[in-house]
Structure 1
Amino acid sequence: MLGVSTFHAPPLKPSLHSLLKPSVPFSFSLLTTTTAASSSRIRKPLVIRAIDAAQPFDYEAKAALEFRNSQKLKIAIIGFGNFGQFLARTLVRQGHTVLAHSRSNYSDAAKNLGVAFFPNADDLCEEHPEVILLCSSIISTEQVLLSLPLQRLKRSTLFVDVLSVKEFPKSLLLKVLPSDFDIVCSHPMFGPESASCGWNGMPFVYEKVRIGEEEQRVARCQKLLDVFEREGCRMVEMSCTDHDFYSAGSQFITHTVGRVLGMLMLESTPINTKGYESLLNLVENTAGDSFDLYYGLFMFNKNSLEMLERLDFAFEDLKKQLRKQLFENAGKVQILQDEDYAGLLRRAQNGSALLLSSRDTRSHDVAKLNKYKSNNSSQPGNSKLKIAIVGFGNFGQFLAKTIALHGHEVLAYSRSDYSDVAQKLGVSYFNDADDLCEQHPDVILLCTSILSTEKVLKSLPVQRLKRSTLFVDVLSVKEFPRNLFLQHLPPDFDVLCTHPMFGPESGKNGWKGLPFLYDKVRIGGDESRTSRCDQFLDIFSKEGCRMVEMSCAEHDWHAAGSQFITHTTGRFLEKLKLEATPIDTKGYETLLSLVENTAGDSFDLYYGLFLYNLNAMEQLERLDLAFESLKKQLFDRLHGIYRKKVFKNEEKVSVLPDRSLLPEESEDTNVVSSSNTVDIN
């Protein structure tokens, strides 16, 4: 801001000149030149106006600028692929000077990011960067490090790696670099996919392996760490040994599961559950990483092989558990019903003699994904239903709470005594099925387990019900109960097959947006019967469920590729006893949540998904083949590398002349001819 001051001059003393000449009025100003024309103006006192050109000095702004500049680093990124460019964007945005070098030509990408690209490593090192950031792949790190002209760098340069394994680069850097160089081993546990919306909350693991004691070197190290802390990363200081131990149990398992599921070519379905969507996200995140990265996690982390073996054993144990239950149940049913084994399997897999399982059938029995429309044409006096829940366990009680809130009268019956629970929920409880049926409920809602459904249905005294009663099931498989109802219920009864694809855990915060599948298998043409069916569906529609009308055959096809795979993954991971670690990634947290959700379900539910869904066996076999294929990829690659290393002189050996089995002897029989020794190290 300009400072302007006004100066009033004191009266001048009379001089000889002024005494000789008459007095003439005049004005004098530093800003205005007096002219002859202005001499006629009225005399004004002498005024001097001065402009103070000095600007106010903002010490705070200058200090802040100097501080910001002092926090800037000159960082050289070695390996300017996807991850190197990903880090460069943030480094440039924070104002650091970024240089880059890579075997491939990324000069255009560097220019777009505001990065100076150097095709020659010598040219880059002569720029004397303060930090060398190694962003090469795990497999190529040693080769890249050995190729750098270290003599052209300042002796105290800070080397930082960002590999997904830590003991390997730590040993390598300590071995290759002169003792003057500083070393930080770090692992940003995120990438372009998982951190597409920012780094806030993402774990950043680091170990200060070797930092000089000088204040400048300590400060430089902190400046680099501040890059990630400023972006909101969760900073975790941890030894490289501890990192690799935790990482094998989290990151390697996450990538392994993601790659196995990726081989199944999983796709989104109209009946996605939250668990299945989390698996799809996991596949998407891991699919963006190269196989070299995954192989590096396996090859250069000594704990990974053990985790792979444990994963293998867990999957085999789950399959063994399924086989054991299959044969145990087969024996029981065979004794009770005197069926041959082939007939038993046919019965178990179909639930009745009605076979609707082929893909040709599915192609004709297509999904009807029409948007559900509530039917409000019901009579005012008949707006409430009398609903009898058969099977009043956890899921039956879970549904009863909401059904009662909608004003419907709820009755309940179960083999176990739940009378106290029913009373608290405002539900009428019956210990005898005949007493329940004599109440003439509008709807019979079967909430039994898959395995006990047939037995329970056969035990109901349906002759005591009204002839047009609506039967509804909520099983996780659909062809089996559909065929069971059509076979055992009189034709006058209406049949609605449904699957609320949520439970007490996933639906504890409300049902909004959760899928509810239904198939109107057999509904009478009378207005009262169609209205009753719609009234029942309105319970779920008004709770915000995503209503999906789909055939039972189509449901089982989609469910085998989503629900059964989700439960299978959760169950074999549960056998690993996975625990949260200080360096959990979002992918690993997804697996922990999946285990928690599936562990709450009984094994009978999972076994029912396997036994009573014709497509489940195929999916289990595909999962098995995918896992075996992944292991083969790993070990084939490992074998190839070791073979190349062991037989690096194979070509030289092959051109040597034939030798006898025994070494030739010289004139001195105690001396072996050196011409016959071959070095294969």
Structure 2
Amino acid sequence: MLSVSNFYPSPVRPKPALHYSPLGRQRPWHFSIPPSLDFNHRSFSLRQSLCIRSIDAAQLYDYESKLAVEFQNAQKLKIAIIGFGNFGQFLAKTLRRQGHNVLAHSRSDYSDVARKLGVSFFPDPNDLCEEHPEIILLCTSIISTEQVVLSLPLQRLKRSTLVVDVLSVKEFPKNVLLEALPSDFDIICTHPMFGPESAGHGWSGLTFMYDIVRIGDEDSRIARCEKFLNIFSREGCRMVEMTCADHDRYAAESQFITHTVGRVLDMLMLGSTPINTKGYESLLELVVNTSGDSFDLYYGLFMFNKNSLEMLERLDLAFDALRKQLIGRLHDVVRNQLFENAGKMQNGNHAVFNNAQNVSSRDTRFHDVAQTYSFKSNNSSQLDGNSKLKIAVIGFGNFGQFLAKTMVRQGHEVLAYSRTNYSDVAQELGVSYFNDADDLCEQHPEVILICTSILSTEKVLKSLPVQRLKRSTLFVDVLSVKEFPRNLFLQHLPADFDILCTHPMFGPESGKNGWKDLPFVFDSVRVGNDELRMSRCERFLDIFVREGCRMVDMSCAEHDWHAAGSQFITHTMGRILEKLGLVATPINTKGYETLLSLVENTAGDSFDLYYGLFMYNINAMEQLERLDLAFESLKKQLFGRLHSIYRKQLFENTDKLHALPDRLILPEMSEEGKVVSSFSEVADVK
């Protein structure tokens, strides 16, 4: 059963108005004085009726006040918190603020903390239970819950006491409570899907899951259950009624996966970088929120939820599949290059010589054409008074169009060329579209903006008719890796071309509401000392400055080092989680919603983009290996703890068997073929 509901206090039905004498005896509204009394009947009746009206008026006011007080007191509960650590104290603050009477017991002495919160602390659970609390609220750790429940002096509690747990798993405490508690105790299993960190600003909108496992039929017991649940409803929680089994199934996917990802990333010791993306910052926040929890809490999510092991195996398979996909693509690239080189070698040195001649000839043709035009002499007067640029976008896909919108809005002249025909889109944006790269280059754009994919950048650059461009044209890339295009430009562009390597750390999704405060990384790799060339570079960068970007001047090598630890890890985790097919659940936590958002933001990018982050960043392989080691280390930690518990139980059982007098570990057979279980029984048969 799954439902979302709000709890409100049951309406109080006002009782018939009764008026009380000072002695507390009820008197009817109208009464008469016996006429046989020997005094002035008329005078006495008048005085008596005036007095009665006065008493009636006073009683009417007192009754309303008393009714309000009785109603408030009727909503109060006496709640005993067992386990007064961080979470118990966190709940106690709200319980006391709502006016409930709170008692507490814990193995550690929290008497000072309890006193400050207005809570009565009891070092001895017997003393606490003798106070007859209406509700026992279990706030212990998952691992110690069974031991604590079995150690409680239940015989000192009232019959039908309500016992409530707030553990992060639900089937385990439900079974423990059903087995350990007498049948006349009421049971509610709950899970507040928040804590001191995530609920620092209140509980409004946060999820509170509950399962009414066992409640007696009496009105008072039903009302007590409603009053307890109303504590969380009054704070604005989203109340979700759900079976314990459903909770654990959802929690294995959301809560356990969230904590697992957080702990793996924590092992990588990720830190903030100068080029943080929103996705990476969400991962850093996830690490902060999960690393504050003890390993016992995380281990409890694994050990006491039967669905968690399956989720861990699925996560392992997803990571292994992604790794194979990356390495397999790399293997294909290397193999193709190997066979291509082998084919070239079979053609002999003559072919190699001819190829060298062709390259040399191409460079000579470019050099001859470029020398025929002097950029400085012909354009100085035009550029001095004009801040607008003529920008050619090479690769007019989603990202190229995304940048072009802003450039056109700022008044720049934008040209575009792409393998796919985007002429209609270009026309709508106010961009001049060219199907032929030669035609575009003959327009002499001041800036060539490369917006192709990482994988096709080299091929596109080599195919451009750069000999048709003006000398010192500024080449700019916007790729997610930087050393690769930097080396590519330096290798294939003549020395009189300017080079600016950039990386807008945002895209159509993250930048749809504006670019303000979003990081824009740039490295002026090669810009001539000419004042006009430096001005042109500054005017291009000013496009992003005017939009409010956070401008980060950083070398390409430094960018790739930071990006491998942030961008590549962010995309890797997003793609691993995508393979799990994660979906929203009725009990989403903030951390899980962060992961869902991460999947949405990364899954929209092509695998080629992700593969480019891996293939063309020399630091990415190291980060992939570190991620692999962190995940393996976490699995060993989980299974190592599991092995230790199993081994401890095994040896404890062995010691118990050795301590039993005259017992055989294995049964023996008598001569008549009967099974006997002790030495004495064998002797008797014989």
> Normalised by the shorter chain, which TM-score bucket?
0.7 to 0.9
2:520 to 513, 516, 519: 516
Question: How far did residue 166 of structure 1 move?
Answer: 0.7
Q: Among residues 195, 199, 206, which one is paired with 1:202 in the alignment?
A: 206
Higher helix share: 2
Cα pair distance change 1:669/1:200, threshold 3 Å: closer
Question: Are residue 329 (structure 1) and residue 342 (structure 2) matched?
Answer: no
1:340-393 alpha-carbon deviations (Å, 9 max, x no partner): 9xxxxxxxxxxxxxxxxxxxxxxxxxxxxxxxxxxxxx9663211000000111
CA, structure 1 residues 272+122, in 2 after alignment: closer, same or farther (shift >3 Å)?
Answer: same
Structure 1 residue aligned with 2:41: none
- Aligned amino acid, residue 507 of structure 2: G
Q: CA deviation at 1:647?
A: 2.5
Post-superposition CA distance 1:216-256 (Å, at most 9, x none): 11111111111111111100011111111111111111111
Q: Determine if contact 1:75/1:99 at 8 Å carries over to the other structure.
A: yes
Which of 207, 211, 216 pairs up with 2:215? 211
1:663–1:676 Cα contact (<8 Å) kept:
no
* Partner Cα distance (1:216, 1:409) in 2: 77
> What amino acid is the match of 1:133?
L
Q: Which amino acid aligns with 1:475?
A: L
Determine the structure 1 residue equivalent to 2:639: 635
CA separation of 1:210 and 1:664: change in aligned 2, threshold 3 A = closer
Question: Does structure 1 residue 288 correspond to structure 2 residue 301?
Answer: no
What is the distance in 2 between the residues matched to 1:461 and 1:667?
A: 101
- Name stretches of at least 5 consecutive residues in structure 1 with no aligned partner: 1-50, 341-377
Q: Which residue of 2 aligns with 1:304?
A: 308
Aligned amino acid, residue 134 of structure 2: E
Matched, 1:270 2:274: yes
1:562 alignment partner, SS class: helix
The equivalent position to 2:126 in structure 1, one of 102, 122, 126, is: 122
Structure 1 residue 655, shift from structure 2 partner: 9.4
Match of 1:225 among 203, 224, 229: 229
Q: In structure 2, what is the Cα distance between the partners aligned to 1:599 and 1:665?
A: 66
- Structure 2, gaps ≥5 residues long: 1-53, 345-381, 682-686
Distance (whole Å) between structure 1 residues aligned to residue 210 and residue 611 of structure 2:
44
TM-score by length of 1: 0.83
8 A contact 2:206–2:236 mirrored in 1: yes
Distance apart, 1:662 and its partner CA: 10
Alpha-carbon distance in structure 2 between the residues aligned to 1:660 and 1:209: 42
Change (3 A) 1:418 1:62: same
Give the deviation of 1:650 after TM superposition.
3.5
After superposition, the C-alpha distances for 1:450-501 in whole angstroms (9 at most, x for unaligned) are: 1111111111111111111111000000111111111111111111110001
Q: What pairs up with 1:69-84 in 2 under 5 angstroms?
A: 69-84=73-88
User: How far apart are residue 439 of structure 1 and its match?
Assistant: 0.7
1:387 aligns to 2:391 (yes or no)? yes
Task: Give the aligned partner of residue 368 of structure 2.
Answer: none
Contact between 1:206 and 1:238, CA under 8 Å: does it hold in 2?
A: yes
- What's the CA shift string for 1:584-629, capped at 9, x where partnerless? 1111111000000000000000000001111111111111111111
Q: What is residue 421 of structure 1 aligned with on the other side?
A: 425
Task: Quote the residue 2:22 is aligned against.
Answer: none
- Does the alignment pair 1:86 with 2:85? no
Q: Which residue of 1 aligns with 2:154?
A: 150
Q: Deviations over 1:86-127 (max 9, x none)?
A: 111111111111110011111111112111110100000001
Range that drifts further, 327-336 or 502-511: 327-336
Provide the C-alpha distance between the structure 2 equivalents of 1:184 and 1:660, rounded to a whole number of angstroms: 44
Q: Is the 8 A contact 1:666 1:673 kept in 2?
A: no
Structure 1 match to 2:476: 472
Distance 2:208 2:648 in 1: 36
Matched, 1:567 2:571: yes
State how far apart, in whole Å, the 2-side matches of 1:673 and 1:155 are.
42
* 1:552 aligned residue (537, 549, 556): 556
> Taking every aligned residue pair, what percent have the same amino acid on both sides?
77
- Relative to structure 1, the CA distance from residue 655 to residue 95 in structure 2 (aligned partners, 3 Å threshold; closer, same or farther) is closer
- The residue matched to 2:396 in structure 1 has which SS? coil
Q: Could you say which residue in structure 1 is the equivalent of 2:507?
A: 503
Distance in 2 separating the partners of 1:661 and 1:73: 53
Structure-1 separation of matches of 2:676 and 2:186: 50
What's the counterpart of residue 401 of structure 2? Answer: 397
> Residue 657 of structure 2 contacts residue 665 of structure 2 at CA under 8 Å; is this kept in 1?
no
Amino acid at match of 1:508: K
Residues 203 and 661 of structure 1, relative CA distance in 2, 3 Å threshold: closer
Query: Is contact 1:99–1:118 with CA below 8 Å preserved after alignment?
Result: yes
The answer to whether residue 164 in structure 2 is matched with residue 169 in structure 1 is no
Alpha-carbon distance between aligned partners in 2 of 1:643 and 1:193, rounded to the nearest angstrom: 36
Q: How does 1:186-197 map to 2 (within 5 A)?
A: 186-197=190-201
- State the 1:334 CA deviation: 2.7
**Structure 1 partner of 2:238:** 234
Q: Which moved more, 1:52-61 or 1:207-216?
A: 52-61
**Matched letter for residue 227 of structure 1:** I
Task: Tell me what 2:247 maps to.
Answer: 243
Shift of 1:167: 0.8
- Contact kept? 2:188, 2:211, Cα under 8 Å: yes
Aligned residues of 1:259 and 1:283 also touching (Cα < 8 A) = yes
The alpha-carbon deviation at position 336 of structure 1 amounts to: 3.3
* Structure 1 residue 160 corresponds to structure 2 residue 159: no
SS of the residue corresponding to residue 385 of structure 2 reads helix
Distance 1:265 1:397 in 2: 37
In structure 2, how many angstroms separate the alpha carbons of the residues matched to 1:642 and 1:304?
18
Judged with a 3 Å threshold, the aligned counterparts in structure 2 of structure 1 residues 295 and 663 are, in CA distance, closer, same or farther, namely closer
Computed over aligned residues only, the root mean square deviation of the Cα atoms, in angstroms, reads 2.6
1:66 CA displacement: 2.4
Quick one: which amino acid aligns to residue 79 of structure 2? Answer: I
What secondary structure is seen at the aligned counterpart in 2 of 1:648?
Answer: helix
Secondary structure of 1:129's counterpart equals coil
**CA distance, structure 2, for counterparts of residue 265 and residue 556 of structure 1:** 18
Equivalent residue letter for 1:272: N
Query: CA 1:338 to 1:539, structure 2 compared with 1: closer, same or farther past 3 Å?
Result: farther
Give the SS at the match of 2:293.
coil
Sort the Cα spacing of 1:165 and 1:412 in 2 relative to 1 into closer, same or farther, 3 A.
same
Q: Give 1:171 shift.
A: 1.1
Q: TM-score, normalised by structure 2?
A: 0.82
Find out whether 1:113 has 2:111 as its counterpart.
Answer: no
Alignment partner of 2:590 out of 578, 586, 590: 586
Query: Corresponding residue for 1:537?
Result: 541
Question: Quick one: distance in 1 between partners of 2:289 and 2:147?
Answer: 28
Aligned counterpart, 1:600: 604
* Distance in 1, Cα, partners of 2:402 & 2:342: 38
**Match of residue 443 from structure 2:** 439
SS in 1 for 2:202: coil
Secondary structure at the counterpart of residue 179 of structure 1: coil
Contact 2:664 2:678 in 1 (8 A): no
Q: Contact conserved, 2:191 with 2:210, CA < 8 A, in 1?
A: yes
Distance 1:422 1:664 in 2: 90
The Cα offsets for residues 168-211 of structure 1, whole Å up to 9 and x where unpaired, read as 11111111111111110000011111111211111000011111
Question: Which amino acid in structure 1 is aligned with residue 260 of structure 2?
Answer: T
Amino acid at match of 1:524: G
Q: CA deviation at 1:63?
A: 3.0
Q: Which residue of 2 aligns with 1:486?
A: 490
